[in-house]
A and B are shown apart, each in its own frame.
Chain A
Amino acid sequence: MQNQNDNGVRSAFLSENMRRRARYQLVFVLLAAAFVLITVLNINTGSVAIPVGEIFRILLGQAQDSPQYSIIWKIRLPRILMAALLGGGLSLSGFLLQTFFGNPIAGPFVLGISSGAKMVVALTMIYFLRFFSHVSSWALIVAAFAGSLMSVGFILLLSRKLKQMSILLVAGIMIGYICSAVTDFVVTFAEDADIVNLRGWSLGSFSGMSWDNVGVAAVMVGVTAAVTFAMAKPIGAYQLGEAYAQSMGVNIRAFRIALIVVSSLLSATVTAFAGPISFVGIAVPHLVKRALKTSKPLIVIPAVFLGGAVFCMGCDLIARTAFAPTELNISTVTSVFGAPVVIAMMLRRQGGKAA
């Protein structure tokens, strides 16, 4: 009898395992399908409509001298790739910060990390453009990284005093406001020629991306995302809390530093190219984890990256086309979709606590 019972429980477990695996596969297939669909839509739509058949011919390198060819290869494709790379990077950065702070509402935007990066990038741009005609992508990334670390450092300093996460988040939002104020100030007084560039960028946008930008972003995001994936195991341990992670053999000091550096690099890369983008870092990891019904980093990390890419490509499509020819800021669109998700998430958590 006992044995039979055991077998029953065992097979229940095995079928649960199968169900889980099926769910993971379904989510990945859906995300991949959405990725392809949005990519095609993105290439297809714009002020010049290009039929789908034509798109595939062009992508395969045919019809090189048509104007459509250069629209796709010089404007739309780099922009799409950039939205995908940066969206994925931003979501991963959010996931890492949520792991670090043990709070699902943490993210590069709310903690003021994006704004810190924005401020230093704005200052760097103005300084460089005064003396040189050109700022390299790498210089901007370094500036954004410095700004990110500055904000993170400040948050970490505060987190020693402020044990309560909600207050820490408020502090992060305040840091964000201060940095934005400084940015607005320097942008207002910058020379006219610079402003055109800065205005659009400081509000967040994927427009005007070159293949050079794509290359640099691909290297940065690719390497850091790979490092994140390699850290999946300690991240899983860290989800149980610092003390447990340490008891499982994780070197907490080194791990925490790695986590902060990687997440700052990711959000710095995004900010350097596209400016601060709100809510993606919180909403996407949350939605992806809900869909997968797990928080296992090994599965969540690639899914979050893919989800972020799809989300940002979708938002960019809307930003480009909703009120064409006027283009919206990317943050306008991500906020419209992201903020309700965050509010729903908070309501859910609060409800869970009360029950």
Chain B
Amino acid sequence: MSNFYFTTRQLTVGYDGVPLIHDITIDIARGEIVTLIGPNGSGKSTILKSITRQLRMIGGQVFIESEELRKLSYKDLSTRMAVVLTERMKPELMTCRDIVATGRYPYTGRLGILSAEDEIKVEAAMDAVHALELRNRDFNAISDGQRQRVLLARAICQEPEIIILDEPTSFLDIRHKLQLLSILRKMAKEKGITVIMSLHEIDLAQKISDKIICVKGDHIARSGPPEKVFDADAIRELYEIDQGSFDPLFGSIELPRPEGEPQALVLSACGTGIPVYRSLQKQGVPFVAGILYSNDIDCRLARVLAAEVIEERPFMPIGDDAFNRALHWIERLPRVINAGVEIGQTNARMAELIERAKDKS
């Protein structure tokens, strides 16, 4: 084998012997964060359930280091792999600390009584996810965000080499999403724990993951480091986005541009246009944006929201082409909005445009 920590070879997964996804071949190094993305129902959970042995694999092999997953006993596996699942558990009369303490299961004796050392590890795990103050609270009485942290503490407490999480950020608000993911990041880097998870938020997936796996149809559509996997077209194709767009550079998502003939021209620079674009988009008003240097942040958004963008090459004086196009629109359109343009040496002609458009604002 190789020196990868977790590998799959031609893995085929599915339910009741019916294959759903074929030929999954993944190599994951120790301490990497790997995220499965893909539309709802694409089989992300099926893959995760198969590599945690909740589902029987249909074909292929999975290795943890050089050992085949199927040949490991449940007990051996439990000291290497921990899970955080989507299914809601409703334990009766258990405090958060009781829940976390179950992570010590593989290490306790016949009756499962915690040693002093176990107790310390439970505390440390709760501390790592900032959940110490939840200790004595009933697990059923805490919020979703707290619950996910407690479940993560439970997994950490199991001292695994790899943690598998199925959509850990669902139901969480943005603060708790960020909190959870940064705990994972820290854990992966500091302790070398490998993380495999599925996420709905492609923007977050891009920012946290070392490797992305796109699941679509009956196969893995793409996989690799996020910079390779994330391009606008690939994401559009993966999720079959026909409304709106995804910007792979910032990981931002946008609603579709207003359709129809332009009704306004927006003059802006260096970000002043963005709130105007959004407001016009909400009102459903198609617009032209200009004159924007192609490295201007306004330009990036204008490309996906504006009906037309009048662009100029960066750091160059505004040329006749762009200037005339802008004039043409000023004459034709009933409205010109000046969102605020800082005038410098290269874009001096913008001042002239603003002057010409004065009676239209």
Which residues of A pack against B, CB within 8 Å?
6, 9-10, 12-13, 16, 102, 104, 230, 232-233, 236-237, 239-241, 243-244, 246-251, 289, 293-296, 298, 352
25 contacts between A and B (CB under 8 A): A6-B132, A9-B132, A9-B133, A12-B135, A16-B136, A233-B105, A233-B112, A236-B102, A239-B91, A239-B94, A240-B99, A243-B54, A243-B85, A246-B53, A246-B74, A247-B52, A248-B103, A248-B158, A249-B78, A249-B105, A294-B93, A295-B92, A295-B93, A296-B98, A298-B113
Which residues of B pack against A, CB within 8 Å?
52-54, 73-79, 81-83, 85, 87, 89-94, 97-99, 102-103, 105-106, 108, 110-113, 123, 132-133, 135-136, 140, 158
Instruction: Give Cα A104 to B90, complex, Å.
Output: 11
Instruction: Give Cα A12 to B133, complex, Å.
Output: 10
Instruction: Give Cα A248 to B103, complex, Å.
Output: 7
Given contacts A239-B91, A241-B87, A295-B91, contact A247 B102 (CB under 8 A): no
| Contact yes or no, A247 B111, CB < 8 A | no
Residue in A237, A289, A293 whose CB lies within 8 Å of B105: A237
Given contacts A239-B92, A240-B99, contact A247 B112 (CB under 8 A): no
Contacts between chains A and B (CB distance < 8 A), count:
88
Instruction: Give Cα A350 to B154, complex, Å.
Output: 28
Residue in B83, B92, B111 whose CB lies within 8 Å of A298: B111
| Contact yes or no, A289 B97, CB < 8 A | no
Q: Beyond the given A243-B85, A248-B105, A298-B112, could you list 20 further A-B residue pairs with CB under 8 A, ordered by the A residue number? A: A104-B92, A230-B110, A233-B105, A233-B110, A233-B112, A237-B105, A240-B89, A243-B52, A244-B102, A246-B53, A246-B54, A247-B52, A247-B83, A248-B102, A248-B103, A249-B78, A250-B74, A293-B93, A294-B98, A295-B93
Instruction: Give Cα A353 to B120, complex, Å.
Output: 34
- Inter-chain contacts of A230 with B (CB < 8 A): 110
Given contacts A9-B135, A232-B111, A247-B82, contact A289 B93 (CB under 8 A): yes
Which residue of B is nearest A296, CB measured?
B98
Residue in A244, A247, A294 whose CB lies within 8 Å of B89: A244
Given contacts A236-B102, A237-B102, contact A295 B85 (CB under 8 A): no
Q: Taking the nearest CB of chain B, how far is it from the CB of A100, in angstroms?
A: 14
Instruction: Give Cα A247 to B85, complex, Å.
Output: 10
Q: What are the nearest 7 A-B pairs in CB distance?
A: A249-B78, A233-B112, A248-B105, A249-B75, A295-B92, A247-B83, A295-B93
- Inter-chain contacts of A289 with B (CB < 8 A): 92-93
Q: Taking the nearest CB of chain B, how far is it from the CB of A106, in angstroms?
A: 13
Q: Taking the nearest CB of chain B, how far is it from the CB of A284, in angstroms?
A: 15
Instruction: Give Cα A236 to B78, complex, Å.
Output: 16
Instruction: Give Cα A10 to B103, complex, Å.
Output: 20
- Inter-chain contacts of A16 with B (CB < 8 A): 135-136
Which residue of A is nearest B78, CB measured?
A249
- Inter-chain contacts of B123 with A (CB < 8 A): 10
| Contact yes or no, A232 B54, CB < 8 A | no
Q: Taking the nearest CB of chain A, how far is it from the CB of B209, in angstroms?
A: 23
Q: Taking the nearest CB of chain A, how far is it from the CB of B101, in angstroms?
A: 10
| Contact yes or no, B97 A13, CB < 8 A | yes
Q: Taking the nearest CB of chain B, how far is it from the CB of A352, in angstroms?
A: 8
Residue in A232, A243, A250, A293 whose CB lies within 8 Å of B83: A243
Residue in B82, B89, B133 whose CB lies within 8 Å of A241: B89
Instruction: Give Cα A314 to B54, complex, Å.
Output: 45
- Inter-chain contacts of B54 with A (CB < 8 A): 243, 246
Residue in B74, B91, B111 whose CB lies within 8 Å of A240: B91
Which residue of A is nearest B110, CB measured?
A233
| Contact yes or no, B85 A236, CB < 8 A | no
Instruction: Give Cα A281 to B52, complex, Å.
Output: 35
| Contact yes or no, A247 B81, CB < 8 A | yes
| Contact yes or no, A13 B89, CB < 8 A | no
- Inter-chain contacts of B98 with A (CB < 8 A): 294, 296
| Contact yes or no, A251 B74, CB < 8 A | yes
Instruction: Give Cα A116 to B319, complex, Å.
Output: 92
| Contact yes or no, A248 B106, CB < 8 A | yes
Instruction: Give Cα A230 to B111, complex, Å.
Output: 7
Q: Taking the nearest CB of chain A, how far is it from the CB of B12, in angstroms?
A: 21
Interface centre among B77, B99, B111 (most CB of A within 10 A): B111
- Inter-chain contacts of A243 with B (CB < 8 A): 52, 54, 83, 85, 87
| Contact yes or no, B91 A13, CB < 8 A | no
- Inter-chain contacts of A6 with B (CB < 8 A): 132
- Inter-chain contacts of A233 with B (CB < 8 A): 105, 108, 110-112
Q: Taking the nearest CB of chain B, how far is it from the CB of A280, in angstroms?
A: 19
- Inter-chain contacts of B108 with A (CB < 8 A): 233
Q: Taking the nearest CB of chain A, how far is it from the CB of B270, in angstroms?
A: 43
Instruction: Give Cα A230 to B109, complex, Å.
Output: 11
Instruction: Give Cα A251 to B135, complex, Å.
Output: 29
Instruction: Give Cα A185 to B257, complex, Å.
Output: 76
Q: Taking the nearest CB of chain A, how far is it from the CB of B236, in angstroms?
A: 34
- Inter-chain contacts of B106 with A (CB < 8 A): 248-249
- Inter-chain contacts of A293 with B (CB < 8 A): 93
- Inter-chain contacts of B82 with A (CB < 8 A): 247
Q: Taking the nearest CB of chain A, how far is it from the CB of B97, in angstroms?
A: 7
Instruction: Give Cα A320 to B52, complex, Å.
Output: 56
Given contacts A233-B112, A239-B91, A289-B93, contact A244 B85 (CB under 8 A): yes
Which residue of A is nearest B79, CB measured?
A249
- Inter-chain contacts of A244 with B (CB < 8 A): 83, 85, 89, 102
- Inter-chain contacts of B99 with A (CB < 8 A): 240
- Inter-chain contacts of A294 with B (CB < 8 A): 93-94, 98
Which residue of B is nearest A235, CB measured?
B112
| Contact yes or no, B93 A236, CB < 8 A | no
Instruction: Give Cα A232 to B52, complex, Å.
Output: 24
| Contact yes or no, A249 B92, CB < 8 A | no
Residue in A13, A102, A240 whose CB lies within 8 Å of B135: A13
Instruction: Give Cα A232 to B108, complex, Å.
Output: 12
- Inter-chain contacts of A102 with B (CB < 8 A): 90
| Contact yes or no, B77 A249, CB < 8 A | yes
Instruction: Give Cα A6 to B93, complex, Å.
Output: 25
Q: Taking the nearest CB of chain B, how far is it from the CB of A247, in angstroms?
A: 5
Instruction: Give Cα A9 to B110, complex, Å.
Output: 30
Instruction: Give Cα A241 to B84, complex, Å.
Output: 12
